[in-house]
Structure 1
Amino acid sequence: MILIKEVNIVNEGKVKTEDVLISNDQIVKIGSGLSVDGNFQEIDGGGLHLFPGVIDDQVHFREPGLTHKGDIFTESRAAVAGGVTSFMEMPNVIPQTTTQELLESKYQIGKANSLANYSFYMGSTNDNLEEVLKTDPNTVCGIKIFMGSSTGNMLVDDPDTLKNIFRNAPILIATHCEDEATIRANTQEFVQKYGDEIPFKYHPVIRSEEACYLSSSKAIELAKKNNTRLHILHISTGKETGLFTNEIPLGEKRITSEACIHHLWFSDQDYDEKGAFIKWNPAVKTKNDRDQIWKALLDNRIDVIATDHAPHTLEEKQNPYMKAPSGGPLIQHTLTAMLDFYHEGKITLERIAEKMSHAVAECFEVKDRGYVREGYKADLVLVDLNKPWTVQRENIRAKCGWSPFEGHTFKSSIEKTFVSGHLAYSDGKLDERKMGQRLTFDRK
Structure 2
Amino acid sequence: MSNSQVFDLVLLGGTVVTPAGQERVDIGVIKGKIAEIGDLSSAEAAETFDAGGLHILPGVIDSQVHFREPGLEHKEDLACGTAAAALGGVTGIFEMPNTQPNTLFEEDLNDKLSRCENRAWTDHAFFIGASDENMDDLAELERLPGCAGIKIFMGSSTGSLLVEQPEALRAVLTNGTRRSPVHAEDEQRLRERFEMVRDGAHPKMHPEWRDAEAAVLATTRICALARETGRRVHVLHISTRDELPILEANKELITCETTPQHLTLSAPDCYERLGTLAQMNPPVRSEEHRLGLWEGVRRGIIDVLGSDHAPHTLEEKGKPYPQSPSGMPGVQTLVPVMLDHVNKGNLTLERFVDLTAHGPARIYNIASKGRIVCGYDADFTVVDLERREVISKDWLASKCGWSPFEGVEVKGWPVSTIIRGNIVMRDGELVGDPIGQPVRFEDTIVPTGRED
TM-score band, normalised by shorter chain: over 0.9
SS of the residue 2:378 aligns to: coil
Gapped regions of structure 2 (runs ≥ 5): 1-7, 445-452
Q: Is the 8 A contact 1:126 1:158 kept in 2?
A: no
CA distance in 1, matches of 2:160, 2:204: 24
SS of the residue 2:140 aligns to: coil
- Residue 24 of structure 1, aligned match among 26, 31, 36: 31
Q: Is the 8 A contact 1:246 1:300 kept in 2?
A: no
1:226 corresponds to: 229
SS of the residue 1:276 aligns to: helix
SS of the residue 1:88 aligns to: strand
1:266-296 CA-to-partner distances (Å, cap 9, x unmatched) read 1113111111111000001111111111111
Residue type of the alignment partner of 1:290: R
**Is residue 64 of structure 2 the alignment partner of residue 58 of structure 1?**
yes
1:375-412 CA-to-partner distances (Å, cap 9, x unmatched) read 10011011111111112211111111110011111112
Instruction: Write out aligned runs for 1:175-194 (5 A).
Output: 175-191=182-198
CA distance in 1, matches of 2:360, 2:371: 10
CA distance in 2, matches of 1:232, 1:136: 18
CA distance in 2, matches of 1:96, 1:26: 35
Q: Is the 8 A contact 2:26 2:39 kept in 1?
A: yes
**Is residue 173 of structure 2 the alignment partner of residue 174 of structure 1?**
no
1:95 corresponds to: 101
CA distance in 2, matches of 1:437, 1:254: 30
- Residue 139 of structure 2, aligned match among 130, 133, 138: 133
**Is residue 85 of structure 2 the alignment partner of residue 79 of structure 1?**
yes
Residue type of the alignment partner of 1:225: E
Task: Report the more deviating stretch, 130-139 or 229-238.
Answer: 130-139
Q: Is the 8 A contact 1:55 1:84 kept in 2?
A: yes
Over aligned residue pairs, what C-alpha RMSD do you find?
1.6
1:32-67 CA-to-partner distances (Å, cap 9, x unmatched) read 244333x51111111110001111111100000000
CA distance in 2, matches of 1:235, 1:13: 29
Residue type of the alignment partner of 1:397: A
TM-score, normalised on structure 1?
A: 0.95
- Residue 45 of structure 1, aligned match among 51, 57, 71: 51
Q: Is the 8 A contact 2:132 2:160 kept in 1?
A: no
CA distance in 2, matches of 1:102, 1:176: 21
C-alpha deviation, 1:259, in angstroms: 0.8
Aligned positions, number: 435
1:421 corresponds to: 421
- Residue 154 of structure 1, aligned match among 157, 161, 168: 161
**Is residue 217 of structure 2 the alignment partner of residue 210 of structure 1?**
no
1:346 corresponds to: 346
Q: Is the 8 A contact 2:177 2:231 kept in 1?
A: no
1:370 corresponds to: 370
CA distance in 2, matches of 1:91, 1:122: 6
C-alpha deviation, 1:136, in angstroms: 4.0
1:226-274 CA-to-partner distances (Å, cap 9, x unmatched) read 00011110000110011122896xxxx3211111111111111311111
Judging changes above 3 Å, is the alpha-carbon distance between structure 1 residues 152 and 297 closer, same or farther for their aligned structure 2 residues? farther
Residue type of the alignment partner of 2:291: D
2:253 corresponds to: 254
Gapped regions of structure 1 (runs ≥ 5): none
Percent of aligned pairs with the same residue?
35
Q: Is the 8 A contact 2:118 2:433 kept in 1?
A: no
CA distance in 2, matches of 1:364, 1:118: 13
- Residue 163 of structure 1, aligned match among 143, 146, 170: 170
C-alpha deviation, 1:159, in angstroms: 3.2
C-alpha deviation, 1:111, in angstroms: 2.9
CA distance in 2, matches of 1:351, 1:317: 34
2:262 corresponds to: 263
TM-score, normalised on structure 2?
A: 0.93
C-alpha deviation, 1:75, in angstroms: 0.5
